[in-house]
Every structure is written in structure tokens, then in C-alpha cells.
Structure 1
Amino acid sequence: MASPSQQLPPGWAAEWDATNQRYLFVETTTGRSQWEPPVAGPEIVGQEPSGSPPPAHHHGKRRQYAAGQTQAYYGGDSLGPSAPQYGNVPQQPAQLFTPGLAATEGGGQFAQQQQIQGGQQGYYAQEPEYINGPQQPVYPVQPPAQMGALADQFGQMNMGQKGPRLFTTNLLTSPPEPLELRQPPPEIFLPPNSCISPSPLANADSSYQRCTVNALPNSNSLLNKAKIPLGLILTPYRSLKEGEEPVPVVTDTVIARCRRCRTYINPYVQFIDGGNRWRCCMCSLSNEVPQLFDWDQARNQPGDRWARAELNHGVVEFVAPTEYMVRPPQPAVYIFLIDVSHTAIQSGMVATATRTILENLDRIPDESGRTKVSIIAFDTSLYFFSLPPGGADSQMLVVSDIDDVFLPKPTDLLVNLSEARATLETLLGRLSDMFQDNHTIGSALGPALQAAFQLIAPIGGKIMVLSSSLPSVGTGALKNREDPKILGTSKESGLLQAASPFYKTFAIDCSRAQVSVDMFLFSSGYQDVATLACLPHYTAGQTYFYPAFNASRTEDAIKFAHEFGEVLAQPIMLEAVMRVRASKNLRMSSFHGNFFVRSTDLLAMPAVPQDLSYAIEVQIEDTITAPFVVFQTAVLHTTCYGERRIRVVTTAVPVTSNLSEVFASADQVAIATLLANKAVERSITHKLEDARDALFNKMVEILIAYKSSMTAAGAGASAQLAVSENLKMLPVLVLGLLKSVGIRQSAQIPPDLRAYAQALLTSLPSQLLIPYIYPNFYALHSMPPECGTVGEQGVIMPAPLPLTSERLERHGLYLIEDGQTIFLWVGRDAVPQLVIDVFNLPNYEMLRGGKVTLPVLDNPFSQRVNAVIQKTREMRRGPYYQHLYIVKEDGEPPLRLWALSCLIQDRADVLPSYQQFISQLKDKVNGSSY
């Protein structure tokens, strides 16, 4: 067939679509495409809206849609009239073709277009907000008669059915919109009658458990076709903000579980045999309902079964009976392992740490009066403190033999917090002064850990390590591996692996004894975070890093004291084990996060901090015939108040054989969280470059799968880069991961900073991880007057801007934050009044960049800016307290570059801009087609 390009108007080109055996007409300037050649045709101009639609135009040639779509589009007659045009609304060029939804060019665009035209005709009470997105216009209660035919068409196109609807977007013409990341995940459309409860809380909230797809493919081959990684993101023990509902607790110890698969009863089971038995939603086994299930033990009378929390809530906690205990519930135990070497004392770490413990003694969980504490100090020797109850003075016992560690005294080293409170307070007040003149340089961290383990192992609990230097003597001594010559090379990943097997072996011993380790690291030099982070990684703890800590800088002292205090005050789950169960033909295949995998699917977590996240990959082993599947996470634990409990988190998602529903239900935030975990693991087991390649290739795979299955271009080349609307932000999140400190290509990132960033990437919950890889960016100088004031939901925040320096104006004041650091960017032409109002300085020249505490001044703008900063620090879960840096536009280059590196849509060094990245993806997607 001859190319029709000679007949086309300027700016248009024709591409041969091999799949549909016809030409696709592309406007070269915008990338828009359509089936019909762009030639002038009959059109109705200036017609007044009226009650009846204008006459339709017939096409002489039959449109070539995918098989089965022609009939749906034309409502029965495949040679019938084309879609009508109302009034003088211009025809929108076709965008993309989505089989299984709208059978016109543009997929979901057709429906939106009709709604716009209907609005012109007076059919709708309100205009829709925008055309090309998932929001729906407000429909009238009764559709007018003229719309009946259109409704019939929609019905035939499955548009009236309840289920995820697919909207396609072109990434080349749809820049990232930061507010989209604050949307909830795609809605879960379960089949009718799948849930026995009408409660909206029957499915777990996504902040506890979310799946990467909210419509599960029914077979592994369909999943492979979509290329979307299948996994669960869990934060089973997330903190509660003020006003949030606590997890309901079932106190009567009546726990109904399936006899075969051990699933806990939940809103997705079925009652049969007159309510005497229940059928498991996982394995379909019939189980007896426990005798006391319908009995209210508190009132000693028959109870209402349908009011039970476990039948109405996706997240519930059971008080466990004695058969769930192998020993009496353990008390909370805290051992503070404090480095008192010369560098630790000089930095002010010891003084800050002891003062923080002293100030937070009342916040340490101890309602039952059983909490125990111990303090061990170390440099190249070990210093134990005997804390006799009753207010007597403490006694220091020195052990200098670090090759064969022993406890110098059988009693009073680990003491009851309430009984030895006075002695402990005295010791904490004096500890820093006792070592004030200590000139010992060196660290026997390994032996100190062994001593703490001997003390805590019979009970279990938490070892909190505060270390200011590289372990240098005794077991676990490390050497400085930092070599600038190998940064940025293929050998760099070696620096991210543990240098000594001692720490992993020790961590596994700790896990067996129900001991968890938290690391607080303060070194001004190399500290080998990669090796030391093994301890929290395998014991379900957390790593905190304060490079070049100096307590004489108020900001450093405040950050550490705040974070350490929050960790001490956290309620923790002790001696926990977690297991994730799923419906038949689903298997948990690999696990990411801070824990030790004790058996194939049992995760041991000696002490679970709040807001720690875990990622689990799921495999489809065989075709799923059930209409929906259920994932259930159960965490058996002891509360820090001495009660054995089981937290159960249940999520049900529908099963589909429709690829468009898989794409329409994909959760871009969950996918990015899973990819972050997989990338970190790959960077350690392989190379950093492999991790980056794997991220890029996974994004390409998803786009190719979408293009070939969901668009008209099929396997051919396309001028567009298509993806579903709900995955629009995934490319920029992947770019954020590629540019994150933990993954990015650079020869300038110290290995300690990279290892710490990787620890964050694998432990932060999605709510913290997303801003970490896609920061928030606000213009403060031009924010609306209500921003920074208190509204119904607290302090009103400005709207976030896209992360590009194109938005930086030379007279502006901007806030950039990633959950760990806040930058205040001040333009070089900032007006003196702004500098006076915010910084209390006469002009921009007097301003100094760097780490600061912003003054609160007596003017509305200062108070609003401070309120926005305060809200930024408080709005997220977790103990983190962000440093604030002032960055002048013409200030110190390293600080400017650090702040600008958060604007990930810009080009930086060898890293591409967002537009370049999208172009690379497009070339790769099209390149694979030839």
C-alpha cells in the first residue's frame, strides 16, 4: 500500500501499524495520533445547543478495531454511525486505544469527551474538572432519555460494571504531578457477597498492608504478560496519629482458626450449616465455630456474633491464651552500650545521650513495673555499673580482658527500672563527667556486644549501641576500607557488604535469644555502617546515623536527642514471629526487611519497632479459580506491657483474567517500595550498576507490556509512550530511586552514607519512602495566605511543585524536604523585606548558609514559614527529626548541589533529566519492537 503522506497537511506523518494492518496518523509536534487521516471534513460550526443531538456523519469505510470491539462501539451494527459531535466542541485527536474498555480511539478518553459534549448540551449539572484523568464529573440523578443509547453503549463496553477502569496517558505529554502521590491506592472492587460484613474497615488499610496490584492476575502467564512485580508491602505495627482509631482488641481469648491452614477467622469466611460451621477463605475447609464465639464473657450473656471485631475489621489484635506461649511473657529490657572513648566524649555524644535517657526515663514503657535496664560503657575496656536498689551509689567494675569476656558480678548489673530509679538517675547525671578526661582512642565494640548478650540472653530485649568510632580491638575489629579510587567503579558494591562475619553470626545468635539491636552511629570518620548495620538488619532493629556529630552545634544535639528520645518512648513488640498466609496457589517467595527468616516463611523479629516496613514477593504457582484471594499477616508478639497478643492483618483482592484490570489496579507506590528493596538487595549481591540496570529494565518491561497489549501501536513503533493513568508517576519514582544516595551512579558518595541510605530504603514505610525518593518542593514566598495557618486538618500546607529548578525564581524562598533533611532555598534577588521577616537580617548579603535553627519572629510570614517547617517535621510517622539547612542561590557549591540533587527532574552530573529519562525509555520501548 502506498504511503498517504503526500496527501497529509504539514506537521503530520503516517506510520504503518503492522498489528492492525493500517496506517496510524501522527502529529509530529505533539505526538498525538489518530486512525483517520487529518483532512478537512464536514463539521457543524456554531450550532446552538438543543434538546436533540445533531445529525450523525457516516463513514464510507469500516473502522478497523480489534476483534469484538466494533460491535460494542456501534451498539450492534458494525457499520452504523460514528460517535456524534455536539455543538462546536472540537473533536479531540485520538490518544490511545484500550481493548476491553472504551472501544473508540483514546480508550477512556471517549467517555470523558462525550461527558464534556453533554455538558455543552446542558446534560450535566456540573462541568467535569478535567478531561484526561480518573476523576468523574457529577452525573444527574436520572440520565435524560437522549443519553439512553450512550448508556447502552457503555454497558456493552463493561463500563457500567463495577471494577477498575483503565485510563491511558501519554508520558511524553503528561509531566509528573506531585499531588498524585498523595492519592489512595486504586480501589479494590471485590465480587458481591465476598465479605460477610458491611463494614468499610473489613479490608486492612493500605498503611498496614498493600498489594502491588489490587486485581490479581489469575495465572502466572497473565502476570508475566503485565510484567508488574507481585508483592505485599507490610507495616503491621504502624504508629497512630492523634485522632486515628486504635486497632480493636479481642480480649476474650476465643480464637477461631482453620484446622488445616491455620488462617484466623476474618470478614471473608462463610458461615454454613446454620452458622455452626465456617468455611475458610484460604483453603475452603469447613471448621466448627468455637462454643464461646457467640458468648459475651464480659456481661456473661449471649453475644452478637456480627459485632465481633474479627468479622468487621481487616486489622485486629487477639489477646493470646496460654497455648501461644512457650514461657511467661518477657518484660521489656534495655541495655545501653555507650562508647566513652576520647572521640565520643569530645563530640558531646555521651553527655547528650545520658541526658536524653535521664529525661526520658518516664517515657520508657513500664506500666507493669517489670522493665529492666543496664548500662555498659566501653572504649578499649569494658565498664559495668552495679546499680543496687534503694538509692545507694552505683559502683563501676572494669573488665580489661576483652579476649575472654565475662560478667564481673552476678547481680545488680541488670536492674528493675522502678526499683533502681534513684541510683540510675545519679549515674546518668555523672557518667559523662566520669570519663571527661579519657584519652583512650579505640573501640572494643565486639567484646562489649558479647558482654551485653551474656547479660540479656536469658530474658531477651533490646541492646542500644551508641558508637563514635570504628571497632578497632578485640572480636569484630574492623579496618578502614574507604578507598576513593574504587568509588563509582564496579568494585564499590564490595564496600556495601559486611567486612567481618562476626556481626552477622552474632546477630543470628541474638535473634535466637530474642535480642534486638539498635545502632546509633556518630563517627566523624569512616565507621563501616555497611558492616554494623548487619546487627539491626537480622535482629529487627534500626540503624540511625549522625555523621560528624558535634553536640556543641545545637541542631546536632536536638536532632539526636529527639530521635533517641522517640525510640526510647516507643511501645515495642517483643519476641515476635510473623507469618504471611495467602489463598491457594499463592506462595511467599522472598522476603525483604529487618528480620531473620527462621524457616521457609516464619520471620523472627525479637523486638519490632513501630513504623518498620517489610516487602514480600509473591508467586502464582497455578491458575487461581477463586473469584478473590486473601492475604493474611499474623504477628504473634508480647507487648511491652507483658501481654501475649496476635496482630492479624487481612487484605482481600479480586482475581481477574483481564489484563486491562491488572494495569488499572496497579499501585505505583507499592511497586516503587518493592523495587527499592529489590534494588538494594541486588546492589549488595551483585553490583550497584546491576541494581540500576534492573530498575531501568523493569520500567521498560512494564511500558512494553502496556504498549503491546493495551494500545493501538501493539508491537510496532509508536510516537507515544503509553501507560495507565494510575502508573503515571512510576517512571519518576524509578528515576528518584536511580538518583537516590543508596543507588545512584557517583564517585563522590562516601560508603557510610550510601550504606545508611540503603538501610533507609529497605526499612522505611511507603509513607516515608516516597518523599525520600521524590521530595516535596514548595514555594513559600508566593504561597496562598491560608498556608501556614491552622485549618480543620491542622496546619494548611502549600501545594507541592514538580521537582525541577525551572520553578526556582531568583527572588523566591523555597522549601525542599525528603523526610530526612529540609532545605530553605533563598534566591539571590530575594527582597530585603523577606530576609528581614524570615531571618531577622537586613539583607541577602548578611545571610549565611548552612545548618540552622530558624528564628520565630513577631510577624505573620515568619510564623507561617515556621508552622510549615514544624508541620513538615511532624506530619510523618517515625522518630526522624529533619535538620534545616539554609541554601543561598550563590552560596557554597557543595550545599547548593546537595539541595539541587533533590530536584530529581533536572539533569545532574551523568544522571538524566526526567525528559531525557522518558526519551530513553521511549527509545528502548520502541527499539525492542523492531
Structure 2
Amino acid sequence: MADPNQQLPPGWTAEWEPDNQRYLFVETATGRAQWEHPGTGAVPEPVAPTGSPPPTQPAPPAKRRQYAPGQTQAYYGGADAAAAPAYGAMGAQPPNLSGGQLFTPGLAAENKFAQQQQQQQQQQQQAGPSYYSQQRGEPDYINAPGYGQPPVAGYGAGGGVGQLADQFGQMGINGGQKPFQIYTTNLLTSPPDPRDLELPPPPIQLPSGSCLTNSPLANAHHSYQRSTVNSIPSSSSIVSKSKIPLGLIITPYRTVKEGEEPVPVVADTIIARCRRCRTYINPYVQFIDGGNRWRCCMCGMSNEVPQLFDWDQTRNQPGDRWARAELTHAVVEYVAPTEYMVRPPQPAVYIFLIDVSHSAIQSGMVATATRTILENLDRLPNEDQRTKVAIIAYDTSVYFFSMSPDSPDCSMLVMSDVDDVFLPKPNDLLVNLGECRAAVESLLGRLNDMFADNHTIGSALGPAIQSGFKLISPIGGKLVVLSSSLPSIGAGSLKNREDPKILGTPKESGLLQTASPFYKSFAIECSRAQVSVDMFLFSAAYQDVATLACLPHYTSGQTYFYPAFNAARSEDAVKFAHEFGEVLAMPIMLEAVMRVRATRGIRMSSFHGNFFVRSTDLLAMPAVPQDTSYAIELQIEETISSPFVVFQTAILHTTCYGERRIRVITTAYPTTSNLSEVFASADQVAIATLLANKAVERTITHKLEDARDAVQSKLVEILQAYKTSMTTAGAGASAQLAISENMRMLPVLVLGLLKNVGIRQSAQIPPDLRAYAQALLTSLPSQLLIPYIHPTFYSLHNMLPEAGTVGEHGVIMPLPLPLTSERLERHGLFLIEDGQTLFLWVGRDAVPQLIIDVFDLPNYETLRGGKTTLPLLDNPFSQRVNAVIQKTREMRRGVYHPHLYIVKEDGEPPLRLWALSGLIQDRADVLPSYQQFIGQLKDKVNGSGY
């Protein structure tokens, strides 16, 4: 059929797209577009209609030079430098782009990247304006062979499933309009695109009139609070049909970076709350009775508007109600009046418990720790000059230090009988930092020398923390514990239970459970007294991280692990000093309690994270650190009739500056009885975060294998539900594996979780490393958790010329590559990072000039692998590589300072395997590659895998 206008139904127009060499048929009434002729269903031949420019074949893309032996002119800039621009140099050109981007309402996503050819990298892309492709900001400079393939017939624009999705996608909000559409992806032919993980979740499309104001800040940003679905099912039956777990991921005190708007503080004495459910007034309430009353968005109760609500108390004049922060901002902080206080706000209190046994002294831990505390005394939160500190040392005895404001000297008191813990002196052990600054500085400067010749082996950690608790419990605060060996004496003593024979067996999960009841019962006692515990662990031998991490877990603290720490290696000293210093300088929220409220019909069913559940829904947090995440599972108990629901997180706390405050985070979501809306609004990052928390909990209550099976089974259930409800295949077998586009990264995230050290199937992972990984999986915010389970992979030797330079928003990063070793080149330089570790992979055929420019060494043979600090050299490429590494360390929230390892392609096998384990799309040991994993999922979804 040559003429596309033949038999064209009324209301349709044909447009020739020269970039794509196709006709596009658009229905003018709806904006729906498709490639097939709406009258015949056939795809017309590429002959331009009258009046259209003649279709011309695009010029083939120019061949790109590779950074390899025999082609070193590409790097050196030799005789043919004009034809082959220097790779890694500022003159390099971006890869040739052919094809354009097509934005047409209703057109399904269609991302194309070039097929791989030997030693040649090209790019071609055709994209439709799905939400994700629009957000991605094409055109993209990804020279990623095999990065993606064209969509399969029936998936995407105008195909059978696309039309079925149109029928399912009638959105029941915004007056019947369709705010966004569901787009189906075939996972078998659509490889993961790492850029999708940088996108925001699907938009929250609230009904018109649901919010009091038009403020863009009326709904909480997803970095504070995000749901696994952005359209909440109106009944439990829809939840069970979709199989998507319903939950909230909350990071109440995420870092506010430079340029971000700070959380507004409401200093009025008036705090408007619902009389029945105690919800705080927010942008989603309704004013009734002429504005004299307001109706709660949670329970529907009518409440009086406080008399002074329209009065500006700071300026003592009438105020504008609609400008109040609690009606325009989803995240606000109230200054709490006296009725919110059981006692006056406590000061910030830090007690440092420092291991001074032989191993701690020899490793340099004591010297590094005391120097870091000394250097960061001015960064400790102390604006109100009430901060108190104490220092307790311990080996097989416990050492107290008495300090006074009148003298820089201090006296040491020794408690050698650790079976009967007591405080040898009631006063002068816990001192005001400002008043006793000279004595504190003097002690920190001398502590390492005092124990320099200590040959005592053993640890009375239990008695030491009991002593610290006795000292701090009347006030509350932080116990900062630094330990270099397994506790061996007194309460809480532990035995080495590491047994290589049970690693990889069902009994391994026993090593991840607490070995002694002392630590959990002590942690609960700490929680009651508003005492939080941070653990810094340094042992080169087994230290039972699983048991010791129990203290931070129940007291809302954090665990930091530095295996085989040796301060003689500058990288070890720098990493610990940086992270410890950031922890000390971090503003902390003291004596906090958190409660999450939701619209009637929704219940909080279970909680995951570092806290103690004091009652059914009240979470006790003695000290809330920044950038810590909590996961809450939700359950729909009754059918929800309202057009939208509201979730509100409230945390009552004392700031480290001595002020009682309430932080309130409010998010509203539309409700739906339409299954397609549930799938189209699913947040794959929130789902992966919730699954990670549930998996860790299951490893402790059941077995590691059960946790892996549960995660994979949940993914299969979601895929089966989507196939049954949203595709033409229904319950029958299908040659495709379908999922909505906004969840297409979920399988690779689940694969990354299954391959993470925390739950990976392996007989080679030490229990301490596994326990620490699990502590990270249950506390990292999504921004750090996602790279931890799905590392980032960059090619540095041929990155775009602007990568590594400073742009409008800081250092420009290279484009991420798929996590497969197929992308490694023998002449290349690559960066693999997971937020905790950086690997700089150097190919064995790297040309000497690259080695000179990056490492200041003559050739590859002289390069040594292992932990290192990269030199900053006087050449553009070195400066760009260093800028990328520095930006990688700074770009995410959290205190972590990842080590950098140089990995040579033919270097030490353990280091190579460790680095390659980050390329999760490859096969490793018994763990499948991404393609094998997708094949297994397809079999199970079709019913042949069970």
C-alpha cells in the first residue's frame, strides 16, 4: 500500500517523519498515535505523500576510534588526529547521533540503541513520549551496543497490547482525563537502562480540588517519603490482584544540601490538630463553616480553627492564612509548646567508649580516633553550650577519666572488677564540653601514649557499655563505641562461632542471629532511657557483627565496619577519620518518637528499620541520625471511598540545640479501583527498598534461602498478575515477558538484591561481612540503597568531552553503562561503584599514555592493584577522572567515604572477582546472568518453573 491516505478513517491524519522513515497516523480528537494504518492495519511503504519532503536515507554514522594498541594515535593525537580525536582528551567528540526524538501524546515508549558491531560503537534512537522517556531528556549520548532493541509487535505504539492498555488506562481522576498512560515493555527484548533509576517515580495525579493551595510543595518530595504505588488501591482485593507490596519508605531527616529549600519552621504557639485522630493540619484538609472549622482528611472529624490561626504572632498583626507553611508545605517543623515535653529538652551528650587493648593500639585505631575527636570538637553540635562529653577506655578493665574546669589535667580511675560495674566517682566523669575544653583536649592528646605499651589482649565491651549507660542514663544521649576485638570478658562476652563448614548451608542463618540475649535486653533498656548506641568495629578477626549490630538496631543508631583496619595505610585512616568526623558533626534528633497516620481504612502492619516499637504504632528513637531510612508495610482493612488518601509521619524530638520540635511529613495519593493505574503508578525503587528490608528480616527469622525465594516469588507474582490482567495472553503461555515501563528495572534490582553480599548464595562470605551488608540494606536511604544493589558502571577512557568538567550543576558525570563485562574493553579504563566501594578497572592493553596520565607510571606492568589514592596530575584527563571519583563520593546523601581499589584485568583473582561481582548482569558462580534470570522468570510466569 503506497498511498497512506487511502481508506484513512475520518478524524485521522498522516504525517511523514523523515528521521524515522515512517508515517505517523494521529487521531486528532484524542492525540493517540500509531505507526499502522488505522484503516488497514498494515504498515505503509515509505513513500512520502504529496507536499512532504522526500524521504532521504540518513548518512551512516562515522566510525569511532578505539583506545587500543595499533590505534594509539587516538590518544596521543598523532598524524591523523583530525580523523581520530583523542579519547579521554578535551577534544573528543560525542558519538554520532542518527534518528530523532518524537513527542506525540499517547505514543508508547520506543527506545532504540544500535546493535553491536566489532570495534565500532554507534547510536540510533527512536523514542516516544512515555513519562519515562520524557523525563530522561533525550537525545542521549550513550554509545551502548546492545543497550536496547526495538519493541516486539504488540508492545508499544498501536499494537494489540498497547490498545488493550488504552482500554485499561482510563484514569478515573482529573475529571476523567488520562494524566498518564500505561506502557508495556517486553523484558526479553528490552535490556535494563541504568538511566531509569535516576528518574523520579511516576507522578502523583491528585483529583482537582483535593489540595487547599496550588503550592508545588504541598506534597512531600519522594526523598522524604515515597510509596510503592502512587495510586493507592481502594480495596484489599485490588492489592491482592496486583501483587505489588503496599508500603511507605520514609527518610524523615534527609540531608538538606546547598541550594535546596530548608524545612520551614512554624514558631507559633498554635498547633492545629484533629481532636479525634490527632492528625496535624495540612494542605489536604477542608475549611467549612465559613472558614471557622476544618474537616480532617484522615477521619472526617470537624475541628475548630484556633483563634490565633490567622494572626501573625511574630509581627503581631493579622496574617494571611493561605501563606501559612502548614497549608503550603508538606514538610514542616513545629516548635513544640510545653505540653509536648515530659521534661526540659535534654542537652546533646556524647560518651566515647574506646577500646585500648593491644590490637586497637597496634592498628592505629586509638590514635586515629582520638585525633579525629580532637579535630572535630568544634563541629560537635553545641550552639547552646550545654553539650556534655565523657571518655571511657577499656580492655579487660574499664578506665574512667575525671576532668574539672579548673585544670587541664585529668585523673584516671581503673575498674578492674568488671563483674560488678559501678561508677567510681559520681561527678567529673561527664563534663560540659565548653567548661572543660582544656582537660578534654589534653586527655585526647595523651590517650594513645598512655596505653602505647599495653599488651593486654581481650575486651570487656559489655561492662564498658554498662558503665557508660550508668553515666548517661539520667539524661540520655549517644554512646559512641569503638571496638577492635570480640568481647571476651564480663557481661555480653561472646565466643567465636564462625564455622566455614556451615557457610552456604541452611545453618548459616544462625550466624546472623544474636548470639547473646544480653545485647537485645540492654538495647531495650537503652531505648527506655533515651540512649542511642553507634558501633564502630575494626577487628581483623571475627567480631560477631550480627550480635553487636543489635545495639544500634534497637536504639536507632548506626553500625560502621572497618575490617582489618590499619592506620598505617593512609586510605584506611582517611576513610575512618572522614566518616567518624561526619558522624560527630551530624545534627542529631534526640529522645524522638515517630508515628505514621493514614486515612481511615489503612493500617500500618509492620515496621522495618533501626528503632524499638514501643506500642502498636509508636516507634521509639533515642537519637535519629540523618539519612537513615525506615520501611513500613501497609494493609487496607476496608474499602476506601474517598478520591484520595493521606499519609502523615510525625516525629516529636529534641534538637541537639535544645529545642523541642515536631517534624510533620504529609503525602497525598489518589485512590483507584483500576488495576492498570496501580501498575502504571508503581515506584520500582520503593518496591526494591521494601523487598530488601523484608528479605533481611526473613534471613533472621527463617533461612537465607527462604529470603531469596521470597523475593523472587514476589517478583514472579507481580509479573504473573501483570500478564494475566494487562496483556492479551491472559493466563495462557506467552512468548513475551511483559511489565509496565515504570517497573522495567525491577527485575534487575531484584537480581542485584539476590546477588548482594547480604543475602547472596555463597559459601565464601564471612558472617561479619554478611551481617554488615544486612545492616546497610535495612538503614540506607533509597538514594544510597539502589546503587548498593545496582552499582554504577562508567567508561572513563572514552567518556564524553564534558564529563569530568564543571557544568551548571557541578561536575558532569559520564553516562552509566549496563552492568555486564561485555562492555569491558582490554584497552579501557572503567569505574564500578556501589556507594561503599570504588573499583578502577584497568584493561591489560591500556596504552602507556593513559597509565602516565592517570597513575604517573610508565606502563601497565608497573601498575599495582589494590587499595589506593589516585594522584591528581597536571593534565586534563587526570583532573577529569579525579573529578568524577570525587563527585561519586559526594553525590549521595550519607557519611560514607568509599575506598578506591585499582583492579588490573590480569591482577589478583580475589580482587578481580570482587570488582566483577558488581556487574550483576553477568553470571557468577551459581548465580544466573540477567538473561538467564529473565528466562527463569518467563518459565515461572508461564507456569513451567514450579
TM-score (norm 2): 0.85
Counterparts of residues 727-806 of structure 1 (less than 5 Å)? 727-806=743-822
Other-structure match for 2:96:
none
Cα distance between partner residues in 1 of 2:753 and 2:401: 46
Question: How has the CA–CA distance of structure 1 residues 161 and 432 changed in structure 2, closer, same or farther, with 3 Å as cutoff?
Answer: same
1:620-648: CA deviation from partner (whole Å, max 9, x where unpaired): 00111110000000000000000000000
Q: How many Å separate the matches in 2 of 1:489 and 1:789?
A: 49
Q: CA 1:674 to 1:154, structure 2 compared with 1: closer, same or farther past 3 Å?
A: closer
Q: Any conservation in 2 of the 1:574–1:637 contact (CA below 8 Å)?
A: yes
The letter of the residue matching 2:501 is K
Match in the other structure for 1:96: none
Please give the secondary structure, in 2, of the residue aligned with 1:112: coil
Percent of matched pairs sharing the same residue: 78
* Distance of aligned partners of 1:566 and 1:135 in 2 relative to their CA distance in 1, 3 Å threshold: closer
CA RMSD of aligned residues (A): 2.7
1:112 aligns with 2:107: yes
Count of aligned residue pairs for this structure pair? 831
Equivalents in 2 of 1:45, 1:185: separation in Å?
39
CA shift, 1:197, in A, is 1.1
**Offset of residue 241 of structure 1:** 1.1
CA 1:423–1:110 in 2, change beyond 3 Å: closer, same or farther? closer
8 A Cα contact 2:168 2:676, kept in partner? no
Map 1:520-559 → 2, pairs under 5 A: 520-559=536-575
Deviations 1:402-432 (A, max 9, x none): 0010000011000000000011000000000
Q: How does 1:12-23 map to 2 (within 5 A)?
A: none
Q: Is the 8 A contact 2:530 2:623 kept in 1?
A: yes
Distance 2:529 2:13 in 1: 79
How far is 1:115 from its partner?
12
Tell me whether 1:397 sits opposite 2:413 in the alignment.
yes
Q: Of 152, 158, 174, which residue of structure 1 is paired with 2:190?
A: 174
Does the 8 Å CA contact 1:168/1:722 hold for their aligned counterparts?
Answer: yes
Residue pair 2:463, 2:490 contacting (<8 A) in 1 also: yes
Residue 289 of structure 1: which of 296, 300, 305 is its match? 305
Equivalent residue, structure 2, for 1:145: none
- Show structure 2 runs of 5+ residues with no match: 16-29, 49-102, 112-123, 136-162
Matches for 1:615-694 after TM superposition, within 5 Å: 615-694=631-710
Matched, 1:88 2:83: no
**Cα deviation, residue 53, structure 1:** 6.5
| Within-5 A mapping of 1:873-892 | 873-892=889-908
1:468 matched to 2:426: no
Cα 1:464–1:156 shift into 2, 3 Å:
closer
For 2:642 and 2:110, locate their aligned partners in 1 and report how far apart those are by CA, in whole Å. 36
Matched, 1:483 2:499: yes
1:247-278 superposed Cα distances (whole Å, 9 cap, x missing partner) = 00001121000000000000000000000000
2:169–2:676 Cα contact (<8 Å) kept: no
The one-letter code matched in structure 2 to 1:447 is P
Kept in 1: contact 2:166–2:182 (CA 8 A): no
C-alpha distance after superposition, 1:268-310 (max 9, x if no partner): 0000000000000000000000111100111111110000000
1:46–1:87 contact (8 Å) kept in structure 2: no
Quote the Cα distance in structure 2 between the aligned partners of 1:84 and 1:134: 27
Q: Deviations over 1:151-174 (max 9, x none)?
A: 9x9899748814341000000000
Corresponding residue SS for 2:736: coil
Correspondence list, 1:457-606, <5 A: 457-606=473-622
Q: 1:139-154 to 2 correspondence within 5 Å?
A: none
Q: Aligned residue for 2:67?
A: none
2:430 matches 1:418 = no
State the alpha-carbon separation in 2 of the partners of residues 610 and 721 from structure 1. 40
Q: Which amino acid aligns with 2:413?
A: L
Aligned position for 1:226: 242
Measured in 1, the distance between the counterparts of 2:776 and 2:844 equals 34
Aligned pair in 2 of structure 1 residues 114, 44: CA closer, same or farther (>3 Å)?
A: farther
Q: Which amino acid aligns with 2:863?
A: L
Specify whether residues 725 and 486 from structure 1 end up closer, same or farther in structure 2 by C-alpha distance, changes over 3 A only: same
Cα deviation digits, residues 768-808 of structure 1 (max 9, x gap): 00000000000000001111110000000000000000000
Q: Aligned AA for 2:630?
A: Y
Q: 1:396 to 1:89 in 2, by over 3 A?
A: farther
Say whether 1:850 aligns with 2:866.
Answer: yes
Provide closer, same or farther for how the CA distance between residues 84 and 292 of structure 1 changes in structure 2, counting only shifts above 3 A. farther
Q: CA deviation at 1:51?
A: 13
- Which residue is 2:157 aligned to? none
Query: 2: CA distance between counterparts of 1:597 and 1:511?
Result: 10
1:892 Cα deviation from its structure 2 partner: 0.1
d(CA) in 2 for partners of 1:156 and 1:475? 62
Task: Look up the SS of the partner of 2:377 in the other structure.
Answer: coil
Task: Tell me which of 332, 356, 361 is aligned to 1:316.
Answer: 332
Q: CA deviation at 1:663?
A: 0.1
Instruction: Give the one of 352, 363, 370 matched to 1:354.
Output: 370
Report if the CA contact (8 A) 2:630-2:778 is conserved. Answer: yes
2:869 is equivalent to residue 869 of structure 1: no
- AA aligned to 1:88 is P
Shift of 1:388: 0.7
Q: 5 Å matches for 1:132-211?
A: 133-134=130-131, 158=170, 161-211=177-227
- Residue identity opposite 2:741 in structure 1: E
Cα distance change on mapping 1:549 and 1:51 into 2, 3 Å? same
Alignment of 1:907 with 2:927, yes or no, is no
Match in the other structure for 1:62: none
8 Å contact from structure 1 (residues 631, 651) kept in 2: yes
Separation in 2, partners of 1:330, 1:888: 53
Would you say the 8 A contact 1:134–1:725 is kept in 2? no
Per the alignment, residue 825 of structure 1 pairs with: 841
Distance 1:715 1:73 in 2: 32
Match of 1:710 among 723, 726, 730: 726
226 and 154 in structure 1: CA distance in 2 versus 1, 3 angstrom threshold:
closer
2-structure distance, mates of 1:655, 1:52: 34
Does the CA-based 8 Å contact 2:2-2:44 persist in structure 1? no
TM-score (norm. length: structure 1):
0.86
| Residues 1-80 of structure 1: pairs in structure 2 closer than 5 A | 42=1, 44=3
Q: Do the aligned partners of 1:215 and 1:661 also contact (CA within 8 Å) in 2? A: yes
Aligned to 1:451, the other structure's residue is in SS state: helix
Where do 1:288-307 residues align within 5 Å?
288-307=304-323
Distance 1:890 1:254 in 2: 68
**Secondary structure in 1 matching 2:711:** helix
Give SS of 1:393's match.
strand
2:819–2:918 CA contact under 8 A, matched in 1: yes
Q: Distance in 1 between matches of 2:286 and 2:32?
A: 42
- Matched residue SS, 1:492: helix
**For 2:9 and 2:676, how far apart are their aligned partners in 1?**
37
Distance 1:391 1:270 in 2: 62
User: Partner of 2:751: helix, strand, or coil?
Assistant: helix
Which structure 1 residue ranges, 5 or more long, are not aligned? 1-41, 57-71, 91-107, 117-126, 139-150
1:674–1:643: structure 2 CA closer, same or farther, 3 Å change rule?
same
Q: Within 2, Cα distance between the matches of 1:575 and 1:157?
A: 47
User: What amino acid does structure 2 have at the position aligned with 1:813?
Assistant: L
Q: Distance in 1 between matches of 2:852 and 2:865?
A: 15
1:444 equivalent in structure 2: 460
Determine the C-alpha separation between the residues in 1 that align with 2:727 and 2:456.
69
Q: Is the 8 A contact 1:155 1:161 kept in 2?
A: no
Counterparts in 2 of 1:113 and 1:303: CA distance versus 1, 3 Å: closer
Report the alpha carbon displacement of residue 392 of structure 1 after superposing the two structures with TM: 3.4
Instruction: Tell me, yes or no, if the aligned pair for 2:394 and 2:464 is still in contact at 8 Å.
Output: yes
Are the counterparts in 1 of residues 169 and 182 from structure 2 also a CA contact under 8 Å? no
Change (3 A) 1:772 1:394: same
CA 292–379 in structure 1, closer or farther in 2 if over 3 Å, else same:
same
